Amino acid sequence: MKVLMFGWEFPPKIYGGLAVASYGITKGLSLQGDVETTFCMPKPTGEEEDFLKIVGMNQVPIVWRDVDYNYLKSRLTRNMTPEDYYSFRDHIYSDFSYMHVNDIGCMDFAGGYPGNLHEEINNFSVIAGVVARQQEFDIIHAHDWLTYPAGVHAKMVSGKPLCIHVHATDFDRSRGKVNPTVYSMEKNGMDYADCIMCVSELTRRTVIEQYHQNPKKVFAMHNAVYPLSQEYQDIPRPDHSKEKIVTFLGRITMQKGPEYFVEAASLVLQRARNIRFVMAGSGDMMDAMINLAAERGIADRFHFPGFMKGKQVYEVYKNSDVFVMPSVSEPFGIAPLEAMQCGTPSIISKQSGCGEILDKVIKTDYWDIHAMADAIYSLCTNPALFQYLQEEGKKEVDGITWEKVGLRIRALYEDVLRNYGK
């Protein structure tokens, strides 16, 4: 089975959970043995793993240029050969000479989430038309609203079925202050999709109710985690017998509920002073959270180390006694699973999709700062509770694998292909 997949992020360049999930899903599919995935993204680094084929949309020509073979070799990264380039060039389907292209007829992408994001999304979908004409595939899989237009275009060009993967909706990202442009792109992608995979039942209900989709084509497809590498397993857990560390790690934005973490910390510190709080990450609410910690008189017990990546993330998990995810609306939330892998007990909001598959965690409403504070205090002062959630939480998460997710997605592909056009 051949899958043409569109995504916006992929490791080693990670901006958030979308890259981690895209990697996990494609890796899980590769373990099925008979699934070949071509993953199209705006701007690869050239350092991606090779268990799948990566196509950099910034190297697919949309304007015909007579380019020398040796010059092409010097211009392309390892993901694209001159032969691939010439093959794509043969499938340019319209006159795009009015668009801004470089010397080899390709469009440049900033990568990530630049100020002209909507322009890049549109350009990505134009290039998808060339890719869909050139590639051989059975099914299309588009991740998140950024690539839905590309998925729809590929379906219209090829006549092949489209699966879209909803990692979040604008209702989650905006606390209900929905951007009408983003909403219309999301809804259009869903309307054209033959199958909609959602990262939780919570998200599935949002898709059905807020985007008016047929429940028969909407499925919950929970995320998973990969086994820790030996390098990460070997990160030591410091002795915190004198002072405990409680951590929030993620984007410091409205969706993630950082203010509830600060307020809960303030309540905990009224009962015990031997606890430090860490808010790791970056985002548009960071300055406000620094000010809030100062207003509450707890700045001396609060640390803001900034954005973490790679091994740093796991060092933070291992260095924590409690991990807290107080999200206001979390479609899934992979961070608690990663923390539990590292032996760190987790507290999550009841408004988090991952809570549907996790039992060995403490769940509170995001707004209930008193319950959150009680849970933090209990884990910091009750060694038996800490040890139970540490051991049982790790066991639970070790059974949640991407290989199982890949198996379910493959079965869904089969079902879509069997019923397509009926």
Torsion sign, CA atoms 291, 292, 296, 301 = negative
What's the rounded Cα separation, in Å, for the pair 249 and 318?
Answer: 12
State the fold for domain 230-398.
Rossmann fold (3.40.50)
The pLDDT, as a whole number, for residue 174 is 80
What's the rounded Cα separation, in Å, for the pair 81 and 390?
Answer: 48
Is residue 362 classed as helix, strand or coil in its secondary structure?
strand
Domain 2-224+402-419 has CATH 3.30.2010.10: no
What's the rounded Cα separation, in Å, for the pair 246 and 372?
Answer: 12
* Identical topology for domains 2-224+402-419 and 230-398: yes
Q: Buried b / exposed e across 164-194, counting CB within 10 Å, b at 16+?
A: bbbbbbbbbbeeeeeeeebbebbbebbebbb
Per-residue pLDDT of the chain (422 residues; tens, 9 = 90+): 999 999 999 999 888 789 999 999 999 999 999 999 999 999 999 899 999 999 999 999 999 999 999 999 999 988 899 999 999 999 999 988 888 999 999 999 998 999 999 999 999 999 999 999 999 999 999 999 999 999 999 999 999 999 999 999 999 888 778 999 999 999 999 999 999 999 999 999 999 999 999 999 999 999 999 899 999 999 999 888 889 999 999 999 998 999 999 999 999 999 999 999 999 999 999 999 999 999 999 999 999 999 988 899 999 999 999 999 999 989 999 999 999 999 999 999 999 999 999 999 999 999 999 999 999 999 999 999 999 999 999 999 999 999 999 999 999 999 999 998 77
**And the tokens for 150?**
């590309």
How far are the Cα atoms of 76, 259, 286, 288 from residue 291, in angstroms, in the given order? 47, 11, 9, 5
**And the tokens for 55?**
């196509």
Q: Which residue has the tokens 């060039």?
A: 89
The pLDDT, as a whole number, for residue 395 is 96
Burial group, residue 214, by CB count within 10 angstroms (0-12, 13-18, 19+): exposed
What's the rounded Cα separation, in Å, for the pair 44 and 11?
Answer: 9
Please tell me whether the overall predicted TM-score, pTM, comes out greater than 0.95 for this model.
no
**And the tokens for 389?**
């959630």
Structural domain spans, the chain:
2-224+402-419, 230-398
